[in-house]
Amino acid sequence: MQAAAQITGMEDVFRLAPILVACGFGMLIMLVEPFVGPARRRLVAYLGVVGALASLASVFISASHMGRSYSGLPYSSLIQVDDLSIFMFFAVFTFAFLAMLGSLDYLEREGMQHGEYYALVLFATAGMAVMACAQELLTAFVGLEISSISSYILAGYRRNAPKSNESALKYFLLGSFATAFFLYGAALIFGGAGSTQLETIRDAIATHRNTEPTLLVLGSAMVLVGLSFKVATAPFQFWTPDVYEGAPTPVTGLFASGPKAAAFAILIRVFYSAFGTSSSTWFWAIWASAALTMFLGNLAALVQTNVKRMLAYSSIAHAGYILVAFAANSELGIAALLFYILAYALVKLGAFTLLGHLGDTGERRVEIQDLAGLGRTHPMAAFCMSVYLLSLMGLPITAGFLGKLYILKAALDARNVYLTSLAVMLAVNSVISAYYYLRVVRVMYFSEPSADWQPAPVPYAVAAVLFFTAVPTIYLGLFPDHVRTLVLSAASTLR
C-alpha cells in the first residue's frame, strides 16, 4: 500500500511538473540575484528564460506520460489533468517564454534589469496554469490570486513612470473587487450545490439532488463577473486601456495573452462542463456581453492615436469574438475558442514586443505616427507588424482568418437565430476593425519617415520573438490541421 501511494505521488508530480518547475526557477532566481552584481544581472535574466523553457519542456514530458495513465485528478480531485490542461500549459508557458525573451533588451534599455521581474513572470504563469487545470473553485481562486498579485506588481514595474503607477493601482483596486466577486460566487455555489468540486456540482445540477437553484444562479453570476474582469469583456473592460498603456510594453503583451487564456479555461470548466446542463440560464448574459464587447472595443479603437491603447481596445473586441464561440455551447465552439486564443495571443505578443523596441527609452514613441516610414527603415519589422495586424483583422492565409472562420462555423452550426445574429455582428465588427488596422499599415508604408529620429536596429532577442510569432501566424493560416486536432481533442474530453 505504501509503494502504491508513492507511485501515485510521483504520478501527481509528473502531472504538475510544469507548475512545479516554474515555481522552482522563480524561487531560484530570487535566491541567486543578491549574489550577482549589477554588471552581470543579464545572467539572471537568462536564468528566467531557461526557467520558462524548462517549464515548457516539462509540458511535453507530462504529455508523453499521459499515455501511461498520468492523466487524471491528482490531489483529491483538486486538479484536472487532461488534453485541455496540457494545451493550456503549452500555451501559457510559451507566452511566458516569448514575453521574457522580448523583455531582455527592453529592461536593459530602461535600466530595470532585475531578477525579480523574471521571477514574477514565472509565478504569474504558474498561477495561470493552476487556473487552467483547476477542477475545484477554491483551487481556481488560488491560481487566480497567484497570477493576479504577480501581475499587479508587473503592471507598476516602471516605478518612475506616473502612468505605470496609475496602471498598477487601477489594476489592483478593480482586480480586488473582481476577486471578491469570484470568491463570494464560489461561496454561494457551495451553498447551492454543497460542494465546490466542479464534477460534484455538475452531477448535483443534472440530478437536481440537494440543490438550491437561486443560490446557484446568484453564485454563477458572481463567478462570471469575476472572470469577465480578467478577460476584459463588457461591461467590465474599463480598466484595460489604462493598464495596457501604463504597464511595460512586454508585460502588456503577457497581459493580452496568458491571463486571458487562463481565465477562458476556467470559464470553460465552470460554465461549459459544470453548469452545461443549465446553459440557458447564462446564455443571455454571454450573448449580451459578446455583442456589447465587440462594438465597444472596435468603436473605441477607431479614434485612438496611441498604438498601445488601440491594441488594448482591440483586445476587448477580440474577447467579444471569443465569447461568440463560447456562447455556442458545443465541442466545436470550445475548439474554435481554443484555436482563436492561440492565434490571437501570438500576434499580440509579437506586436507588443516589437512596439516595446520601437517605443524608444521611456516609451516616448508609441503613437501611430511614430511608425511612419517603418517599411523603408525597418522592412522586416514592418512586415511582421503587418502580419500581426492583418491576422487580427482576419485576412486569409493568417491564423486570425481561420480562427474567425471556426467561430462563425460553430455559431452557425448551432442553428440558433440568436447565435446567428452574433455571427453577423462578428462579421460587421471585423469590417469596422479593418479601418484602424489598415491605418497603421498605411502609415508604415505610405508615410515619410521622421527626419529627426529613427528606431534602433532590432536586437536578436526581439527578432527571435518576431520569428516565433509571425511564422506560426502564417503557418497556422495555411496548415491548421495539427492544432485543430489538438483543440478538438481538448474540447471532447470536457464532458
**CA dist list (Å): 9 to 6, 72, 81, 171, 393:** 5, 13, 14, 38, 47
pTM of the model: 0.93
Cβ neighbours of 119 (radius 10 Å): 26
**CA dist list (Å): 156 to 150, 165, 428, 448:** 10, 5, 36, 35
pLDDT value, residue 209: 73
State the chain's maximal CA–CA distance in angstroms. Answer: 76
% helix, strand, coil for the chain, step of 5: 80, 0, 15
pLDDT value, residue 8: 54
C-alpha–C-alpha distance, residues 127 and 110, integer Å = 27
Low-confidence ranges of the chain (pLDDT < 50): 1-7, 68-69
C-alpha–C-alpha distance, residues 53 and 55, integer Å = 5
Q: Which of 344, 351, 314, 149 is nearest to 237 (CA)?
A: 314
pLDDT value, residue 67: 54
pLDDT value, residue 180: 92
pLDDT value, residue 278: 58
pLDDT value, residue 39: 67
Q: Do the beta carbons of residue 400 and residue 347 sit within 8 Å? A: yes
Q: Which three cell numbers stand for residue 157?
A: 514595474
pLDDT value, residue 1: 41
Provide CB contacts within 8 A for 173, sequence distance 6+: none
Residue 134, SS3 per DSSP: strand
